[in-house]
Amino acid sequence: MNIALLLEMAADAAPDRIGLVCDGKRWTYGDLLSAARGAFELIQESGAEYVALLDESSEAAVIALFGAALAGVPYCPLNYRLPDADLAALLDRIAPALVVGDEERVERIAGEQGHTVYARELFTLKTQEVWPADDEREYDPGQGIAVQLFTSGTTAAPKAAILRHSNLLGYILGSVEFGAAEESDAALVSVPPYHIAGISALMSSIYANRKIVMLPSFSPEGWLDLVAQEQVSNAFVVPTMLSRIIEAIDKGHAADLGSLRAVAYGGGKMPLEIIHRALDLFPQASFTNAYGLTETSSTIALLGPEEHRAAHASDDPRVRARLSSVGVPLPTVEIEIRDEEGRVCGPNEPGEIYVRGDQVSGEYKEKSALTADGWFPTRDAGYLDEDGYLFLSGRADDVIVRGGENMSPGEIEDVLLTHPAISDVAAVGIPSVEWGEAVGVAVVTREGHQPPSEAELKDLVRGRLRSSRVPEKILFTSELPYNEMGKLLRRKVKEVLAE
């Protein structure tokens, strides 16, 4: 089973339908498939063992993804924001590769590694020109690796997560109905190409025959303009993107969101305030919260549109609370919560999230992380409520252990965020002679407010949670460190608080 099947089927069923729009240029499914076949020829000719993308999103991402699949070599989009030394080390791990994108940079930092490099324009041009001498080609049967993604590597050297054709096809075939999109549907893809959501978006849109509208590099203004210009119906955003979009609307940027019917979000914790604002600002749009990981080929749990509106409108605290859940597992995956001894937890009992299913790879180039019976320990902490809704409480590694008692940073942060003068907060474990670890918090004061006193914040936590949760150290700061995908860099907060 080869993921190229997704594009082949789209090109078979609707060769002349527009499949992708980028920088004003339109590509039909037929164009994209013939370019992917052209890419196959370039890859074969180069002898590359990987196809890498070092570029913003464009049609080249689709052509390289499926071209690599046809040629049977892994597609490995790289984070172009990495410093030179880190990027050179990653390029070395995939040498020799056919690299599409920043030619000058690859020559400069990895010129000796034996890569074949094409600038984006040359690559897309060549893939349209190159055509096999005869029509019959032996394409790869798809038994191997389709995509390799390097993890962000905040703890150690980046790990190479691998996704097999069978994982990705398991995900797409299990969750997307072929050709289900209307001809007027358009999905705005604004996540970077090296993020799993940026890859799965290409595959699911193509299989649904939903036109992809690419935003090469995210800006809230660019996003709003493109929605209006291309009459976008679907969009996926990470929380920071949504909050910046709302900020731009608040500042008066023209927003014609009439075509927008469905917004999906994921990739980090969505502040409740933002989602309630978005529900008010886009009353005609349905909202879906998706939870997934690179190692699971994207989404494994969903909170659907009806559940969003019901929770938003409800007075029942239990129903309302679901807005901060990530919904229920996809029908094609199993999810379990396990405690440290590996025992399966009951409802509302926190532990580590385990997942199993065809789409779950749980595999790194170095080794597989799967248990003997196929479960992937996500290292995400959370619990399932009595109705099966999944709630996340941070990374298992972020749990604060104070005198043998485990506490999740999220519960402390949620309480502090109820203070009107606080706009953002991070709770982390700080070294403590007495307890091993104690709670430290970094707090951002809301614009136009005076910072609250330390005593006031401690009282707030003491009033709502057990006294062990009361922070021992409070630091006021102008902002918290996030990466470009909106993930809080707790390690950095920890370093600052430990000083």
Partner 1 sequence: MKPGTRLKSAACDTEVMVIRSGDGTIECGGAPMGEAKPAEPAPLSPDFSAGTLMGKRYVDADGKYELLCVKPGKGSLSVDGVALVIKDAKPLPASD
Query: What are the residues binding partner 1 (CB under 8 A)?
Result: 1-2, 5, 8-9, 12-13, 141-143, 166, 173-180, 187, 197, 200-201, 204-205, 207-208, 210, 234, 236, 262, 264, 266, 286, 288, 290, 292, 298-299, 302, 304-305, 330-331
**Closer to partner 1 at the Cβ: 231 or 286?**
286
**Closer to partner 1 at the Cβ: 204 or 378?**
204
Residue 271: left if φ>0, alpha if ψ -120 to 50, beta else—which one?
A: beta
Q: How far is the CB of 73 from partner 1 (least distance, A)?
A: 18
**Closer to partner 1 at the Cβ: 124 or 166?**
166
What residue ranges in 339-432 does DSSP mark as E strands? 351-356, 363-364, 376-384, 390-395, 400-402, 405-407, 422-432
- 286-293 vs 298-303, strand pairing mode: antiparallel
CB-based contact 267:293 (threshold 8 Å)? no
d(CA 145, CA 72): 8
| Residue carrying structure tokens 């019917």 | 261
Q: How far is the CB of 474 from partner 1 (least distance, A)?
A: 38
Q: How far is the CB of 7 from partner 1 (least distance, A)?
A: 12
Supply angle C-alpha 253, 257, 258, rounded to 5: 140
CB-based contact 66:3 (threshold 8 Å)? yes
**Closer to partner 1 at the Cβ: 174 or 271?**
174
CB-based contact 205:187 (threshold 8 Å)? yes
Nearest to 377, CA basis, from 403, 340, 409:
340
d(CA 326, CA 427): 21
> Please, where are the H alpha helices in 94-119?
103-110
Q: How far is the CB of 172 from partner 1 (least distance, A)?
A: 10
**Closer to partner 1 at the Cβ: 307 or 380?**
307
Q: How far is the CB of 453 from partner 1 (least distance, A)?
A: 43
390 bridge partner residues: 384
d(CA 32, CA 20): 8
Q: How far is the CB of 242 from partner 1 (least distance, A)?
A: 15
Strand ranges across the sheet with 436-445: 422-432, 436-445, 473-477
- 376-384 vs 390-395, strand pairing mode: antiparallel
Q: How far is the CB of 288 from partner 1 (least distance, A)?
A: 4
Q: How far is the CB of 264 from partner 1 (least distance, A)?
A: 5
**Closer to partner 1 at the Cβ: 305 or 451?**
305
- 351-356 vs 376-384, strand pairing mode: antiparallel
**Closer to partner 1 at the Cβ: 210 or 269?**
210
47 bridge partner residues: none
Nearest-10 Cα torsion for 488, 490, 491, 497:
130
Nearest to 91, CA basis, from 114, 66, 124:
114
Q: How far is the CB of 126 from partner 1 (least distance, A)?
A: 29
Q: How far is the CB of 340 from partner 1 (least distance, A)?
A: 31
**Closer to partner 1 at the Cβ: 175 or 324?**
175
Q: How far is the CB of 386 from partner 1 (least distance, A)?
A: 22
**Closer to partner 1 at the Cβ: 132 or 141?**
141
**Closer to partner 1 at the Cβ: 168 or 430?**
168
Give SS3 for 28: strand
CB-based contact 391:406 (threshold 8 Å)? no
Alpha carbons within 13 angstroms on the beta-carbon side of residue 427 total 27
**Closer to partner 1 at the Cβ: 177 or 459?**
177
Q: How far is the CB of 397 from partner 1 (least distance, A)?
A: 25
**Closer to partner 1 at the Cβ: 142 or 410?**
142
d(CA 414, CA 326): 16
Number of neighbours of residue 411 by Cβ within 10 angstroms: 17
Q: How far is the CB of 303 from partner 1 (least distance, A)?
A: 10
d(CA 338, CA 200): 28
d(CA 359, CA 301): 12
**Closer to partner 1 at the Cβ: 265 or 435?**
265
> What's at 51, amino acid-wise?
V
